[in-house]
Structure 1
């Protein structure tokens, strides 16, 4: 039966039952609510103890600049380069720029009041009052302020704290890193030349005894810290607008620092432009003498030839050819510039591009024809023509270089860069963090998810039996389902007398389940050879003793003669229900032959019910139970009573239940709902059946409808152990 049912069971477990999932979450609502509350409390503590973070921003515009200032004006216009935003972002975040800001605003200085550990922000903000105790005088309560005007420390004191203690009348005391003390006054420079230390405190507010910390940080660390708070991004792709932002706790310090960063970046950009202009100017000034020499040389060659050949000018025809050739060359240069622009937008097959190529071809043909006409001039005019043309070219180059030199001189004098500040640094009035609503919402969400994960994870890890149908699928009939009784919760760990639910709350639903068990056993044992039963389980704390005691009471109430035997010779507790002393004789004494049965059957307040306790715990309980006296005891009790109930120990812990099961008429397995796993039940069956004991059935104990496969969900658990030890008692 077990093998044939496993595929169906596996298929059922593979399916996700959303209804059951929701029921499990609903049953674990207390865990989820607790986790959510704890997360909300932690979020509130975080918000109270976290200083607000502000943000300052500024906007910069990057303008296009010429790619080579040394080129003539016509070529410089063609070589304009769009600003590279990524490059400028890295320059803004460089040590060169940030280092100037650190030095200008003294960000490598740290001067702040001492705050209470862990709760310093809550106390300083006034949200958490601090008692006026002498040991707490040093901590800031929101009334301490310090401003540092000058600080100079020796190299070995960089990174070391200097403690300042406020005194009366603007006086203060310093505790230096070498543990020496010094005194000073606000606004008065304090100098220790022998130690290389200098200090001037511009303002100091706080009650006498308040302490402050002054620190000179390493410049590299200060730059790295500032870089971590600076963010630069281009606002819109290709817009050449950079948005620079800085975050921190002090709004005034943020605006001042960001302003210093933008000014330092602007200065380096201007100096870079001035340096570039100077470099180009130097290059042009080196070329001017050569250009002047070329003009002089061309003039001398032309004059010399004229004097030698007695030629005065080119004549009308030569002058006309010279003018036409110069005009054609100028048009070709213009078409070349237009072609570069068209090549970025069109292919060579585009009609506009083809039109330009056709015009260039016609100009080149015309220029070639004009140059051929020059060859038809007389030799004297042809040579004068060439020399005159060389002179005009040299003069044009010289004039362009001279004009560019004047432009660069003006540019250098103005020192204008290609960066413009659009919006100066300004701090937003409201803090950007922590965002209270978002933090609380996220904390509540994470708390709820964490609680739900805990509930579902606990269910997934334990996988206890959650319904009688799971026991039925293993081939073990369920005689009864006993509901969970909160009144007897924790009896396992309780000392002293234990209550009997059938007597204290006879109308409880759990007692009704035990009455149902009594009825099932009455009809199920009609053909049994013995009217004795034994309760066992796979592990401790399944509720065997609870069922055995209450079943004995309800059976006696029904008019039956009942004997309750505590067969757990290791940790039996039946005696606690009936106020029997721990050292009183019992089953172990009978099996050892040291006491008569009449002396061991103790009367109880319930008519028809007798009890036999364990007696003193023996050192060899299994060997003692294997004696023939156990079978003789069962037979004798069958003659005297209508029902005999044995409370046996767990079967997976010891072998005693196997021995007892072979002597009694029926063995009943007690399965605790949501605690005993299906694997434990299967192991229990194999343990008993392997020894020749066939369990008659099972009882599902401590069933909680809200934790089963009902509409109420999941969510109850017990801790238990397989360890089942005892401490043997020495016999007298």
Structure 2
């Protein structure tokens, strides 16, 4: 072995071994099932303690016209309104509409029974019984009900709770926010004028002692709460159908509240349409007197001129020109309206558009020609012509305003708005939440993912040695790989005697690995100065004592004379394999000079095997081991036995293995598969080499092909506390 410790080489490529992941998950299936069970339990607790959520819905239609009443063509042109769904959605969710619904249904009042904290719904629904104790009499058990008919509180009591306690036979007691008390009776108004408080309870059910909470919420908060539960969306793009839904725990309250919201929106829409018509009507009515005055003035001027000039009428030629000019101007106005419509669909180069322009040019040319002809009339007829034309224009304007005023009056009287309720508010009988199947399925899935993440995360955070090749790359030869023994792992923490696997199950595969270790040590120690070996590890729970005991039995079965020594003077365990008491003398007594060797070597039921336990735990184990008596002991044992096996403490916990390693012929490191980390092995090698002890090799213990840890419930919660005091209990 090279003197320098070689670090573990990283893999050239970081690849994911799917089979390894599956093996790790299968090994940690107990954890995964535990996580799933815990998640399912939490999901069931959530379902039991979660009140059902219901949903009420309604359907609204936005119509293109303000009403369905048959109206004149001119009225239809001004009354047509294109529906704007996005705008109407925001209006429906506005504070104006929702505030009217809150006021109409008293959503700013809150009167509910007091429920047990955390488990209130489970108790109120009867799923969880509650003991009939006086201290718990105030909490609702599903038998309490209250209806509030009137509530008036001063401004400083808004959002402050009023506690009501039922006293039986319709009587109740109130504890007001100022800590004063008041008494009342169901159906009888309770008024405190000095405090600005008024209350009337319409219904109160529950035994004496049941408590209720009454609260006047701030209007803004009530509107905000209603808006959070309200959902408005257009059903299909461009359909002008609005689907309105409201969620909550009380089906009756949902239907009543959503109905109030839709009715408030409908009234708002109708008032908005009526307001638009009224605004236009007011404007036209302000213009009518001026138009009437203009007609009167035009008539007076025409009559005055006729009387002054003795002119009676225009004559045939003048009347004909007047009629033709009026007809031409009317046609031009019609063409102008048609041009606006064509401009939205065609360009000016389109034949249809060009045809209209040609017709307009001809009319304008004809109108100009007719106006030139009027200049050829006699002066008297020309003046009469102009005055007559002014009168006709004034009369036409007045008649149009008068007709529009009549149309708007009809519109105002017949306003229906452009909204129609298709489906009135109705609550679905089945709750929409919680969905039990989905919640349980999601909980099991999250539990499985959480368990898998825990298993893989723990495996990734605590990555121990996976194979002998990792130890070889550190320059430490591996003498043998010993398989994991489930039966021993399940009993290693039991009190009292421990079983010896080589005796109880000599054909086990684990024992075959120990026989391989025996063979490797036989050939590896041919040139050793001493026939003694010491087992140590980086930390407890690596399996040193297990290997030492079973190797001693296997070697003795092969005909060798074997001595097994427990050199762990702090927490020795060898005695438990052979039924020796904790207070029996052992190695500590020999090193202290209190007992002879022959008195400490205990024969066992295995022929050829003798055992020396650790004895009483001394206060100075390191100092005892540093005495020359240890080397003398091993020299004497070499003379009597073919093999001496020493079970030493962990090297990273105490310095005892360094002292023992200088006295024995070889020191072997025990590495637990998937538990002992490469850094611990490197620290162990540095610890021994720093004191002049060269580790001869290593044993990969408790190897499991499936890699996953804790597959058989074996805990690896090791620590480094090695106390000098003896334990009260073993």
Structure 1 and Structure 2 fold alike (TM over 0.5): yes
**Corresponding position of 1:445:** 445
**Corresponding position of 2:418:** 418
Task: State the distance in 2 between where 1:273 and 1:372 align.
Answer: 48
Task: State the distance in 2 between where 1:687 and 1:214 align.
Answer: 74
Q: Given that residues 99 and 223 in structure 1 are in contact (C-alpha distance below 8 angstroms), is that contact kept between their aligned partners in structure 2? A: yes
Residue 431 of structure 2 aligns to a residue in which SS? coil
Residue 82 of structure 1 aligns to a residue in which SS? coil
TM-score, reference length from structure 1: 0.89
Q: Given that residues 23 and 714 in structure 1 are in contact (C-alpha distance below 8 angstroms), is that contact kept between their aligned partners in structure 2? A: no
**Corresponding position of 1:720:** 717
Q: Given that residues 706 and 715 in structure 1 are in contact (C-alpha distance below 8 angstroms), is that contact kept between their aligned partners in structure 2? A: no
Query: What is the CA-CA distance between 1:245 and the residue it aligns to?
Result: 1.2
Q: Deviations over 1:201-254 (max 9, x none)?
A: 222223343333322222222222111111111222222222211111111111
**Corresponding position of 1:538:** 538
**Corresponding position of 1:293:** 293
CA 1:607/1:341 → structure 2, altered by over 3 Å: closer, same or farther? same
Q: Given that residues 631 and 663 in structure 1 are in contact (C-alpha distance below 8 angstroms), is that contact kept between their aligned partners in structure 2? A: yes
Q: Given that residues 5 and 475 in structure 2 are in contact (C-alpha distance below 8 angstroms), is that contact kept between their aligned partners in structure 1? A: no
**Corresponding position of 1:69:** none
Query: What is the CA-CA distance between 1:439 and the residue it aligns to?
Result: 1.4
Q: Deviations over 1:445-468 (max 9, x none)?
A: 211111111122112211222333
**Corresponding position of 1:227:** 227
TM-score, reference length from structure 2: 0.89
CA 1:195/1:73 → structure 2, altered by over 3 Å: closer, same or farther? same
Cα-Cα RMSD: 3.3
Q: Given that residues 600 and 612 in structure 2 are in contact (C-alpha distance below 8 angstroms), is that contact kept between their aligned partners in structure 1? A: yes
Task: State the distance in 2 between where 1:355 and 1:565 align.
Answer: 121
Which region of structure 1 is more displaced relative to structure 2, 223-232 or 563-572?
Answer: 563-572
CA 1:627/1:343 → structure 2, altered by over 3 Å: closer, same or farther? farther
CA 1:659/1:295 → structure 2, altered by over 3 Å: closer, same or farther? same
Q: Deviations over 1:308-351 (max 9, x none)?
A: 44444334444333333333333333333333333333444444
Q: Deviations over 1:644-686 (max 9, x none)?
A: 1122222333444344334322222211122112332333334
Residue 675 of structure 1 aligns to a residue in which SS? coil
CA 1:31/1:491 → structure 2, altered by over 3 Å: closer, same or farther? closer
**Corresponding position of 2:250:** 250
Residue 432 of structure 1 aligns to a residue in which SS? coil
Q: Given that residues 288 and 398 in structure 2 are in contact (C-alpha distance below 8 angstroms), is that contact kept between their aligned partners in structure 1? A: yes
Summarize the alignment of residues 65-144 of structure 1 with structure 2, pairs less than 5 Å apart.
Answer: 77=77, 80-144=80-144
Residue 707 of structure 1 aligns to a residue in which SS? coil
Residue 645 of structure 1 aligns to a residue in which SS? strand
Which region of structure 1 is more displaced relative to structure 2, 119-128 or 715-724?
Answer: 715-724
CA 1:62/1:560 → structure 2, altered by over 3 Å: closer, same or farther? same
Q: Given that residues 191 and 198 in structure 1 are in contact (C-alpha distance below 8 angstroms), is that contact kept between their aligned partners in structure 2? A: yes
Structure 1 unmatched runs, 5+:
67-71
Query: What is the CA-CA distance between 1:352 and the residue it aligns to?
Result: 3.8
Q: Given that residues 314 and 381 in structure 2 are in contact (C-alpha distance below 8 angstroms), is that contact kept between their aligned partners in structure 1? A: yes
Matched, 1:431 2:431: yes
Q: Given that residues 490 and 714 in structure 2 are in contact (C-alpha distance below 8 angstroms), is that contact kept between their aligned partners in structure 1? A: no
Query: What is the CA-CA distance between 1:489 and the residue it aligns to?
Result: 3.4
Structure 2 unmatched runs, 5+:
67-71
Task: State the distance in 2 between where 1:139 and 1:507 align.
Answer: 67
Residue 11 of structure 2 aligns to a residue in which SS? helix
Q: Given that residues 110 and 214 in structure 1 are in contact (C-alpha distance below 8 angstroms), is that contact kept between their aligned partners in structure 2? A: yes
**Corresponding position of 1:660:** 660
CA 1:660/1:332 → structure 2, altered by over 3 Å: closer, same or farther? farther
Query: What is the CA-CA distance between 1:586 and the residue it aligns to?
Result: 4.4
**Corresponding position of 1:215:** 215
Residue 700 of structure 2 aligns to a residue in which SS? strand
Q: Given that residues 291 and 394 in structure 1 are in contact (C-alpha distance below 8 angstroms), is that contact kept between their aligned partners in structure 2? A: yes
Query: What is the CA-CA distance between 1:614 and the residue it aligns to?
Result: 3.7
Query: What is the CA-CA distance between 1:78 and the residue it aligns to?
Result: 6.7
Query: What is the CA-CA distance between 1:257 and the residue it aligns to?
Result: 0.9
**Corresponding position of 1:10:** 11
Query: What is the CA-CA distance between 1:391 and the residue it aligns to?
Result: 2.4
Query: What is the CA-CA distance between 1:256 and the residue it aligns to?
Result: 1.0
Matched, 1:264 2:264: yes
CA 1:691/1:394 → structure 2, altered by over 3 Å: closer, same or farther? farther
**Corresponding position of 2:695:** 695
Q: Deviations over 1:231-284 (max 9, x none)?
A: 111222222222211111111111111111111122222222222222222222
Task: State the distance in 1 between where 2:349 and 2:79 align.
Answer: 25
**Corresponding position of 1:634:** 634
CA 1:365/1:453 → structure 2, altered by over 3 Å: closer, same or farther? farther
Task: State the distance in 1 between where 2:365 and 2:571 align.
Answer: 120
Task: State the distance in 1 between where 2:511 and 2:388 align.
Answer: 130
